[in-house]
Each structure stands twice: as structure tokens, then as C-alpha cells.
Amino acid sequence: MVIAIDGPAGAGKSTVSRQLARALGFIYLDTGAMYRALAWALRREDLRRGEASLTLAALGQLPLHFRLIDGELVVTYRGKRLGDELREPEITNMASRVSQIPAIREFLTAWQKRLAEEGNVVAEGRDMTTVVFPDSPFKVFLTADLATRAQRRQLEYRQKGLEIEYGLLEAQIRARDEADQQRSIAPLRPSAEAFILDTSYLDPAEVLRQLIDFYTRKIEGQEPSGKIRPLAQK
């Protein structure tokens, strides 16, 4: 069983997807981390200039491995587990660029499908509901306004000891949105069947409650509302 969750940067996907997987006893599959890991490996292998010409065979030779351990994705490079280095702003920006390369999307999509065969999964990314798991009956699209998403990302970086100017973050997220929505392969967009939830004025606990309710209603054969907009205001 796959719960597929899509949405733009800063919508709260990672936090709530991890919490949802834990609450339901599912595996959490962070596909964004897979793109960041591949970007990190390409930089490490000094293959950045040849990104567009990479083949599936060449990608398969990278010393990069994905595994599911204790309910979460573990990424290793030459046997070393990768972590905070995948959250560096440069890697995030590079991941956005390489995600537009067909061979890279094909390579990682195959990995994502393979990993999902290992058990019940909450798969979080940008094309989970439309490309990778289009047959999932549990499709979710999380969104939030740009200002909220930039504020969240700034707080995330501060917690890691990085100080990034708000205006720069907002511009980067806006550019990422445009790139994701306009790319020719697997553009970011809500699936026609997706449960759309605006998280702008919701805390993670409320988002989690809404998603558990959505999952429960689907399991019980009740169709939840297709769109929910928060009533509270900041």
C-alpha cells in the first residue's frame, strides 16, 4: 500500500509524511532526499558538467545506494551514510536542476518503485501521485502560500546553524516552483484525484490529524472532501 504525497518546497511534506508513516506503522520514503543524494554524488564525482549526457548505465555505476532501514530511507555513498550534507542550499538547488534530466528521473523512479515493494509506504515528493504511484488510492497534495513556505525554510536552516536571508529564500522557492511546474517531464501539479490541503495556517499536528482522517475515511469507503482550506487566520 502506498500513500502518495506531493507538493512544493516548504509545504510541510517531510515533517508530516514522517509523522504519518510512524502513526500508521508504514515506511517513510523521502524521494526528495534521493534527488539531493544524486546531486551530491554527481558533485562529489565531479560529473556536474556532464549531467545532461548521463545514461542509466552510468548512473547505475555511481557508488550510491538506497535502502530502507527501521522504517526510513538510508542513503550511503561509498559505504558512508549521508545526512545533513544533503540539506545544504547548494545541493537543494542542484537537485532541482538535475531533476529535469530524463535519465535521472527514470533512474530514481525505478528505485522508488523498487523500494515501495518492501512494504506499506508513505512516499513524499513532487510526482508521486502523477507519475511514480498513479494507481495509489491515497493521493495527497500539500501546499501553502509562498511567504509561509519561505519562513518555514528559513527556520529549518537556522535550526541547522545556517543563516539565509529571507528574500533570497523566497526568490529561490519561487524559482523552484516555476522550474517544477514548467518542466516537460513529471511537472509538479495536483493529481485529479488528490486530496488537496493548504497548510498555510495549520500546525503539523493538525495536518497530521487531517491526513489520518483522510486515510481512515478512504479505508472505510467514505470519500473525503476533495479540498480543504483552513478557516483560522494568522
pLDDT digits (tens, 9 = 90+) for 97-151: 899 899 999 999 999 999 999 999 999 999 999 999 999 999 999 999 999 999 9
For residue 233, is it within any domain?
Answer: no
Number of H helices, E strands in the chain: 8, 9
How far from chain centre, in Å, is Cα 159?
20
In the chain, the number of structural domains is 1
In this structure, is residue 234 part of a structural domain?
Answer: no
**49 lies in some domain:** yes
Tell me which H or E stretch contains 177: helix 166-182
- Which of 138, 122, 147 has its CA nearest to residue 201? 147
Structural domain for 56, as ranges: 2-228
Q: Taking Cα atoms as reference points, which of 121, 87, 93 lies closest to residue 17? A: 121
Distances (CA, A) of 35 to 51, 125, 212, 232: 13, 10, 27, 35
CATH of the domain at 212: 3.40.50.300
pTM of the full predicted structure?
Answer: 0.88
Grid cell 558512508 in the structure block, residue: 80
Residue 93's pLDDT band (boundaries 50, 70, 90)?
confident
Instruction: Check: CB of residue 94 under 8 Å from CB of residue 43.
Output: yes
Neighbours of 40 (CB within 10 A): 22
For the stretch 196-230, pLDDT in tens is 999 999 999 999 999 999 999 998 876 654 444 33
For residue 92, is it within any domain?
A: yes
User: CA gyration radius for the chain?
Assistant: 17
